[in-house]
Structure formats: structure tokens, C-alpha cells
Structure 1
């Protein structure tokens, strides 16, 4: 592969501040470091996200696109309008800001980028790679957001059209790829490959745990189980609160870091049940978030039992990075639990809703510090070997 290619990353999630860098940021930085000319086109999908602009950020040309405020209502009509208006507006901005493109990299949900792969192929003769992280219509159906069969069928049709329009598709796991084949049979299996999640692999320096815990008001001598990430119905975090209730009055603390539509309800539930061993922190800068997680003892993952699509939770990378053992409450269809326990050997998984078994697994971790060390070390080793951004970059750019 020759260097110095023109690459466009099309996404709905990209941090404007390097200290909050996400997966898409890390990929853009890595591509740029390899010598490619990288532009990122970002759709401000949510109302509270930044307005439209074009500027250089950390050596990357970032073109952010936002619709007028009237289109950001939460109703079905507003969402439908956004789906069709964003790609239209993006074409206009791309024409102005992107002169050449050899490779388009986009991530799901595809419904937000309708027709963009075809547009890049026609205008720039660009090849295209889709990073497939979720299956939009099934995700909403599982959570009860789409109940109408006609709506579901329509969105599934749009998704399948978009999948077929990409030259190559990267799925997180074998289970993820099999779901694609089973539910979108028109997709060519030959264009699909496994693309693990990624991160910038960095050395993790030791920290003063007591200092970090004191700074964030955490008990200095408690065993702390941390959940970091979005708090929505997707995670079904009541399972974690049910677990916390079984440790009420003990020196085991449950820490939640982040925001989301369920956060206020979860906080109210904690108050109603008098759970003094649960603490919430709204926001921690990305670089400092690592230190807070590092000061804890086990990383928690939770997914709704209603989900029917296999996934690989991105927050697991934060735990693997700092050698934290993982305890996961998962839906019954995902292959992440098997990967976690038998391939990575970095923790335990339990089917969501089985709080007694979840407690038994946590008890093992609480009482066996050597086990925690081994599991955490396994997670870090797997992270370094398979989850580097350089690995992802190599897979994606092999198209060129």
C-alpha cells in the first residue's frame, strides 16, 4: 500500500477535544500518523452537539454538520427528517471541503448516512469500508422503540441497501458477522471480515489509588466495582443496582460514571432503596477517567436481556487497558461472554437478571486478589495483541 492517500471518515461521534478522544478519533489520528491526508465529516446528530464548522483539530480536518434546531425534536417526524436531510446537507459540505478521496470509512448506524457511499464512489471513485457496530432497526425493535412492522421493514430495507453499497464491511465478532448473514442475506459474505474494536495502546503508569479516591470522594479502603459509560435502557442498569443491594452495609462500593436518559431514574431508585454503597459521578475527562477506573477493583458491563444482536461492549477496552478484571451482565445471545471468559480469560459473565450468580462471581473477585490480578493481566495482554488501533488501521486500509 502506498502512503499519502486521501481518506474521509464519516461518523456521528467524534470528539472535538483530544482529551475526550473516542474510537473514531483514535482511528483518524492513526491514519494521519501513517501519512494519510485525513478528513472527518461529523454529523451532530443530537441537539446539544456543536454547530456546523470546518477547522483543523489536532492535525485533522474536521467538517462538522448540524441541521437547524427545528429538526431536533424527539418525535418520529423529526427523526425521519434528520435521516434524509443529513446526507443531503453533507453532500453540499463535502463538495466544498473535500477535493479528493481514495477511501471512505463510515460507521453504523447506516440510516444516518444514506447514499453517501455511492456518492463518494461516483464523485471521487473512492473505495468504501463500513465499520459495523450495531444493527439499527433490530436495536430499536429490541428496546420497543419500533413496534410497527412496516416501519421496521422500511428501516431494515434501507440498512440492507447501505450494507450492499460498501466494498467491505468489518464486524466486531464472529457472532456479529453471523447475525449479518442471517438477517441481511443479500449482503455478499465475501466482503465481510472481522474488525475488532481498537484503542491507542499506551503504557499505563502506576497511580496513587488513595489520592485518586480521595479526590473523587470514594472510600479509601472499600472494594470498588465501577461502571463507566452511557446510562440508558440498553444497559438495564437495574441489574447492577440489584447487585449493589445485596452488598448493602458492606465495604463494597458501586461507582457509576457517565450520563444518560436513565441516570436520574437510577439515582432516585438508589435514594428510595437507601443504597449508601452506590455513588454517581457525572463526567470525568477522558484522560482522567482512566485514572479513576484504575483506582477501582473490578469493571462492570451491563446489557439489556432484551437485546438480540451479538456485540462487543466498547467500555471493556477501558478495563482491559488498566488490567481490571471484568464482571459482565449480558443478554443471552451475545458471544462476548464466551470471548471474555474463554478467549480473553479476563473475567466472568452472567445472563442478565440472574443477580445471585452475579453476586457469586463478584464474591470470587472480592475474596481472591490473586485471581483479580491474573484476570486483569490477561485482559491487558489481549488488549495489546488484538485491540490496537494499528491493527484496525491495517485491516481497513488493506482496501487501498
Structure 2
């Protein structure tokens, strides 16, 4: 008998060209014959309007509140936290008749009470994919400074975590953080669930043609950073690395791809310092982005030294996919650096702020193409063996 699966998320692309982790999971269940429905909360101001439609064989129910709730800062966010789950109940009852398995991903406070709602109304099992901890994330961003608000959201999340049949965390560090900061969560219900991807053969690209298209130097080692540019990334550390590399006359070009609150400031800083070894590109479609990354030589990752939660940066998957070695500037709490260097052996990591040490690692990578290839191949092997969406799906459905 065909099983019914509901994916509850705040991020789901409507076009295959922009497919994200949640899309890949939905497609994998669809391809295995499950009846798949994605319930998507339009959480951000620019997210699409409410709709119900079938996209690539997946029923997509998108829920959006009135525009007022997207323009009032913290108050609007707090109201969304409470109103979304209640409004969602009405929409879900209307459009979802059966559910055997609920899969939800964080931020958990956006789905207050919905795991119990699915248990009561559909007798569904529930699995939480835990990628981040909402109140700690907001505190690290500086969005929550009031201890009362922080404590309130933390207690709300704790209550939510207890309602799921199983919780998947990215690393051992995430599990440790969860158990230490959210009392009452049953350890036996928590397991490691790595990030995933639809593993495909990556066809070679004409690197010269790609570089020419984006006016990138042909004769330099390109170190690429692709993704959001906010205070969470603390990208001034990468810009400082670029400055040291420029002064040392390294044969390296730094490429930043993306947008964010820090983009303009970073670009102005690079210009003011005369860093001719730095290039900025706006957002490019996912398929084109992969080509640019593939035409580069080193993948850059940067996280703020102020972060208090261990993480496994999702952009690392993009680098692993195309066999790109990684150079990472990381906070002190994450275990990603140890995993990258010691377990996967796919790059180097340095504590954020240690610019000269980061530059030393850059010189090792930029001057040794054989080392870059060995680390890139190790990343690709890890991608193929550990990060498949099929493995993640099998772990999730084991609760049925």
C-alpha cells in the first residue's frame, strides 16, 4: 500500500534549477513510489504567495500570511511564530487527507504543535531534521538580546523537540549541544543524519570558457566563496586573507558569489584597499553556479567566531560535489573543521581570526595542484559514500 509522506519546511524551490535539499528529499520519496506532499511556509518577505499545485510530481501546499507580518521586525516574527501553525492547521486539514510520516526541518518554532497535530489527526510518525537552533541563531545574529525572549523561544523549542519520534542531527557536536541545552530530550531518539544531495556524475566543464564568461583570470588559482554574505559568515576574515595574499603577491584570485547585508560593505572595503585580486559576482542560477565553482580551484568557507552552535556548512556539499578542496575559517565550537581535516581529509580549517595561519594553508593549497586534487577527490568520495539522499531517506523511513 502506498505510504503518504508530508514534508514540512520553510524552504522549497519551485523550479528544478534551484532545487534545494528539501526538494531532493521530496523527489527521492516520489521516485520510490510514495505519495509526496510538501507543506511550505513562506517565512521570508520575498517568498511566494499561498498556492496549491503539483510541481514535478510533488503536491506543494504553500502557506503565506498577510504582508503586514513581514514588515514589522521582531514583533512580526513573533506573531508569525504563533499564527503560522494555527493557520496551517486549517490549510492542512483541507488539502491533506492522509499522512503516515511527517518530516520537518528547523527552525522548529515555526511549526509549534504541528507534530502532535499530525499524530492526533493522521496517526503519523514524525521525524525532525535538526539543522539549527533558532534562539541561539538569533542571539548570534544580534537579533535577540533580551534574556526573557531568548529563554521563551528556547523553552518553546524544547517542548517541540520532545514531541518528535526521532531527531536527526548533522554531527556529534550537534547532538551534544542539543542534549546539553534542551533538557528532557530523549537521547535514544536522537541520531546523526548528515546533509544530503542527489549524487550525480559531474561532467567536466570548459574552465577557460567559464572563466572567460565571468571575466575571471585564466592564469590564477581561484579561491571561491559562494553563498550568503551576512554577519554570520564574518567574511572580513576572508577579505583579510585576500589582503595578505595580495601583499605576498600570491597567484590567487578571490571570487565572492552572492548577496547579503554585508555584500556592499565588503565590496567597498576591497575597493578602498586596492585589492585587485578580489572579484564579486551577483547571484547566479544554481546550474551556472556549479559551473563557476567547478572552474575554480579552492572552495572557501567562513563562519563567525561569535557562533555558539556547532554546524556543518551546507556549501561544503557544493565543493565536495565538484571535487574542490576546502579552506575554512571557523568558530571554536563547531566540529566541522575536525571532520573536514581528520575524517574526510578534504581540506584545511583554521580558527576564525587567525589570518596568518589561514594564509599559510592557502599557500599550501595554491602552490600544490597535486594536494588540491587529492583533497578534492577525498571530498568527492565522502560525498558519494555518506551524503546521498537515498541514505538519508532510508534512515528517516526506518521509523515507520
Q: Give the structure-1-normalised TM-score.
A: 0.98
Q: CA deviation at 1:4?
A: 2.3
Map 1:140-179 to 2 at 5 A. Answer: 140-179=138-177
- 296-305 vs 263-272, which deviates more? 263-272
What secondary structure is seen at the aligned counterpart in 2 of 1:254? strand
Question: What are the ranges of 5 or more consecutive residues in structure 1 without an aligned counterpart?
Answer: none
Partner in structure 1 of residue 303 of structure 2: 303
How far off its partner does 1:144 sit?
2.2
Give the 5 Å matches for 1:346-365: 346-365=346-365
Q: Determine the C-alpha separation between the residues in 2 that align with 1:140 and 1:47.
A: 17
Aligned to 1:194: 192
Q: Which shows bigger deviation, 240-249 or 131-140?
A: 240-249
1:256/1:280 contact within 8 Å kept: yes
Q: Distance in 1 between matches of 2:259 and 2:42?
A: 18
**C-alpha separation between the residues in 2 aligned to 1:251 and 1:336?**
28
Match of 2:212 among 211, 214, 217: 214
Equivalent residue of 2:245, what SS?
coil
Matched, 1:320 2:320: yes
- 1:1-400 matched pairs, under 5 angstroms: 4-248=2-246, 250-400=250-400
Q: Provide Cα deviations, 1:203-241, integer angstroms capped at 9, x if missing partner.
A: 011111000011111111111000111111110001000
C-alpha contact 2:24 2:389 (8 A) present in aligned 1? yes
Find the aligned partners of 1:250 and 1:339 in 2 and give their Cα distance: 28
Displacement after TM superposition at 1:272 (Å) = 1.9
Q: Per-residue deviation at 1:105?
A: 0.3
Q: Distance in 2 between matches of 1:227 and 1:95?
A: 43
Runs of 4 or more consecutive aligned structure 1 residues displaced over 4 Å after TM superposition? none
Given that 1:73 and 1:79 are in contact with CA atoms closer than 8 Å, whether structure 2 keeps it comes out as no
Q: Secondary structure of 1:165's partner?
A: coil
State the 1:250 CA deviation. 4.5
Alpha-carbon distance in 1 for matches of 2:90, 2:96: 10
The answer to whether the Cα contact below 8 Å between 2:330 and 2:352 also exists between their aligned partners in 1 is yes
Structure 2: give runs of 5+ residues left out of the alignment.
Answer: none
Aligned-residue offset at 1:74? 4.4
SS of corresponding position for 1:193: strand
CA shift, 1:131, in A, is 0.2
Q: Is the 8 A contact 1:43 1:66 kept in 2?
A: yes
Question: For 2:72 and 2:300, how far apart are their aligned partners in 1?
Answer: 30
TM-score under structure 2 length normalisation: 0.98
**Shift in Å, 1:81:** 0.8
Q: Deviations over 1:107-150 (max 9, x none)?
A: 00111111110111111111100000001111222232211111
The superposition leaves residues 126-183 of structure 1 with CA deviations (integer Å, 9 ceiling, x where unpaired) of: 1100000001111222232211111111000000000001110000001100111111
Asked if the contact 1:181–1:189 (Cα under 8 Å) also holds between the matched residues in 2, the reply is: yes
Distance in 2 (CA, whole Å) between partners of 1:250 and 1:342 is: 27
RMSD: 1.0
Question: Contact 2:140–2:232 at 8 Å: present in 1 too?
Answer: no
3-state SS, counterpart of residue 246 of structure 1: helix
SS in 2 for 1:28: helix
Q: Bigger shift: 9-18 or 85-94?
A: 85-94
